[in-house]
């Protein structure tokens, strides 16, 4: 079995909880309030600013030039495509820049620490849920649409779209190719990073639903 198949099996239960999370249910049926969506977008802008730098650091540390190019391209897409999607919502919903709420702070710091202190393959596995889970959530919501005039259509179309799908497929293939060269212990380390980041994806949605603030 490929590393990615085992990794996905390890997060099945987390993914099922993400899909039924009230934030994603409301995003799916279009009932999500602008207030909660705006909170999410403001936090996601903070997240993407950090995520794109983590991708660029993975590119710099990649062992093969092909992987370097892929991760450099992912970093560029995170800035050009995803940040511009956010930019449109910032304008339309008059969102203002925010400081990282606890879940965003935890997630961005986890990814930064992983790319700084762990082997590059562990960092590749740690960023994989950001690709893979978003594609699955995007596709899941897209398939439920049934002609609903969803106000969050642009968001859904981005993550259910072909360009994002191609990037996700490439990121999975890189993790599989890299894992195939590693010991079972190193592969397990990658899986642990994949599971941890998947948990943080759930926390991120939950933070947006709760409009999480620092307690003190």
Ligand X SMILES: Cc1ncc(CN)c(N)n1
**Interface residues with ligand X (CB under 6 A)?**
44, 47-48, 82, 130, 134, 201, 204
Contact assessment for residue 126 and residue 194, using Cβ atoms and an 8 Å cutoff: yes
Q: CA angle 96-99-101, nearest 5°?
A: 115
HSE-CB at 77 with a 13 A cutoff on CA atoms is 17
- Min dist. Cβ of residue 121 to ligand X (A): 20
Task: Check: CB of residue 172 under 8 Å from CB of residue 132.
Answer: yes
Task: Write down the least CB distance from residue 147 to ligand X, Å.
Answer: 26
Residue 142 CB, shortest distance to ligand X, in Å, is 15
| Residue 48 or 56 with smaller CB distance to ligand X | 48
Q: How far is the CB of 130 from ligand X (least distance, A)?
A: 4
* Furthest C-alpha separation in the chain: 50
Q: Mark residue 103 as left, alpha or beta (left: phi above 0; alpha: psi -120 to 50; beta: remaining).
A: alpha
Closer to ligand X at the Cβ: 62 or 130? Answer: 130
User: Of the two residues 115 and 130, which places its CB atom closer to ligand X in the complex?
Assistant: 130
Cβ 126 to ligand X, closest distance in Å? 12
Closer residue to ligand X in complex, CB, 48/62: 48
Closer of 82 and 121 to ligand X (Cβ): 82
Residue nearest to ligand X (CB): 130
Tell me the C-alpha to C-alpha distance, in Å, between residue 70 and each of 146, 171, 195: 34, 8, 23
């Amino acid at each position: 079995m490929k590393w990615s198949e085992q990794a996905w099996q390890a997060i099945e239960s987390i993914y099922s909880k993400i899909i039924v999370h009230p934030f994603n249910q409301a995003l799916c049926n279009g009932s999500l309030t602008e207030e909660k969506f705006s909170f999410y977008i403001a936090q996601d802008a903070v997240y993407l600013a950090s995520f794109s730098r983590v991708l660029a650091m993975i590119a710099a540390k990649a062992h093969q030039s092909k992987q370097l190019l892929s991760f450099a391209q992912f970093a560029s897409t995170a800035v050009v495509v995803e940040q511009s999607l956010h930019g449109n919502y910032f304008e339309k919903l008059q969102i203002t820049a925010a400081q990282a709420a606890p879940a965003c702070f935890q997630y961005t710091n986890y990814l930064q620490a992983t790319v700084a202190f762990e082997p590059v393959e562990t960092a590749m596995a740690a960023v994989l849920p950001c690709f893979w889970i978003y594609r699955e959530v995007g596709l899941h919501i897209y398939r439920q649409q049934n002609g609903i005039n969803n106000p969050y259509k642009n968001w859904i179309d981005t993550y259910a779209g072909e360009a994002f799908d191609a990037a996700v497929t490439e990121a999975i293939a890189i993790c599989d190719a890299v894992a195939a060269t590693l010991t079972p212990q190193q592969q397990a380390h990658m899986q642990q990073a994949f599971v941890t980041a998947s948990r943080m994806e759930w926390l991120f949605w939950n933070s947006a639903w709760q409009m999480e603030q620092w307690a003190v």
